[in-house]
Amino acid sequence: MKTPNKIIISRTDAIGDVVLTLPMASLLKKTFPHCKIIFLGSAYTKDVVACCSDVDEFIVFDEEKLNEIGADTIVHVFPNKAIAATAKKVGIKNRIGTSHRWYNWFMCNKLINVSRKKSDLHEAQLNLKLAACFDQVKDLYTYDEVLNLINFEAKPTSTANINLIDNDKFNLIIHPKSKGSAREWGVHNFSTLISLLPKDRFKIFICGTEQEGLAIRDAFSDAVQSGAAVDLTGTMSLSDYIYFISKADGLIAASTGPLHIAAALGRNAIGIYPPIRPMHPGRWACVGQKAKVFVADKECNNCRKGGKCSCMEKVSPQDVRDYLMAIYR
């Protein structure tokens, strides 16, 4: 393929997925420095994409806008039949997609053999494989090479509760819920962890949306009333939360968007994962210099259809506490 002038990266799903796609933007910008990189995503992920300076423009799906941009290339990282059809309709010359979606055989003219479901590669590596149709881009990037492609910096805001950060303590965010996107560790484990951490060394913030706050506040009421934790659920916009994460020392969560944001920002990002494929950390671990995952050392398919996950329960709050104490001396 010839050197592109405008590339659209299409990924319209969740925050964590978007964070793990942004290394592609950085790779393409490094490979083609004069090329304009446009990210097509869901509106609620705009503040996330704004943290990557290698993206020149953010758009949401709209046929007129897609036509106006005049891109010569689109990479369908997240398959979407409507977007694929529109990209062909408006005449985007190079339309790249996975060969494992039947409609891409009719709507894309550059097919990449990427099968995610059974792959042993990390999601960020799988994303980068879709850029391999360019002669200047190789087929496989190592984990360390992916790390070196992270270009993610929070945008300062004036309403991000930064005044609550205690520079004399380890400022730890716990994000107990996942909006159903991941297996959860359980509020009881987070509550136990809070009780195990010394108040004179850790300042703990409970974060999440207002809806999540309504679901978990009773479970953390004793910790909040005793001063062991601060409840910030429902108090910040996404841009505020990203900036707050950048000023904290660490974040603990299941495989959620905030965990991936923390890792990309270079914070201590501690993820609790199930061993079940394809949700395991081999595929979805947060990527960052200070990323850490806890996962039960076993093969498990017992709770594939949902419900309570006994493997998540096997991750001990004491083990997480010991790790935190070790990295903060």
Check for a shared fold between 6-148 and 162-327.
yes
Among all chains, which residue has been given the structure tokens 């590596």? 125
Residue ranges per structural domain of the chain:
6-148, 162-327
CA distance 87 to 61: 10
C-alpha dist (Å) from residue 109 to 37, 93, 116, 226: 20, 8, 20, 61
Task: Report, as ranges of residue numbers, the positions in the chain whose pLDDT lies below 70.
Answer: 298-309
Q: Give pLDDT tens digits for 7-23.
A: 999 999 999 999 999 99
What does the mean pLDDT of the chain come to? 94
CA distance 309 to 78: 27
Q: For residue 179, how many C-alpha atoms fall within 13 Å in the half-sphere facing its CB?
A: 11
The dihedral region occupied by 230, where left means phi > 0, alpha psi between -120 and 50, and beta the remainder, is: beta
* pTM of the predicted model as reported, rounded to 2 decimal places: 0.95
Q: What is the structure's pLDDT at 313?
A: 80
Residue 41 corresponds to which tokens in the numbers above?
């995503």
Q: Give pLDDT tens digits for 268-326.
A: 999 999 988 888 899 999 999 999 999 987 666 666 555 566 778 889 999 999 999 99
Q: How far apart are the first and last CA of the chain?
A: 52
162-327 CATH fold? Rossmann fold (3.40.50)
Provide the residue type at 306 as one letter: G
Put the strands of the sheet holding 250-253 in their side by side order: 230-231, 202-206, 170-175, 250-253, 268-273, 291-295
Q: What is the structure's pLDDT at 238?
A: 97
Q: What is the structure's pLDDT at 206?
A: 98
Of residues 240, 237, 236, 265, the one with CA closest to residue 251: 265
Q: What is the structure's pLDDT at 305?
A: 59
Q: What is the structure's pLDDT at 308?
A: 63
Residue 264 corresponds to which tokens in the numbers above?
């990309």
Q: What is the structure's pLDDT at 301?
A: 62
CA distance 253 to 255: 6
* Cβ-contact 65, 90 below 8 angstroms: no
Of residues 307, 192, 204, 191, the one with CA closest to residue 251: 204
CA distance 229 to 187: 13
Q: What is the structure's pLDDT at 141?
A: 95
Question: Residue 214: CB partners within 8 Å, gap ≥ 6?
Answer: none
State the CATH architecture for 6-148.
Answer: 3-Layer(aba) Sandwich (3.40)
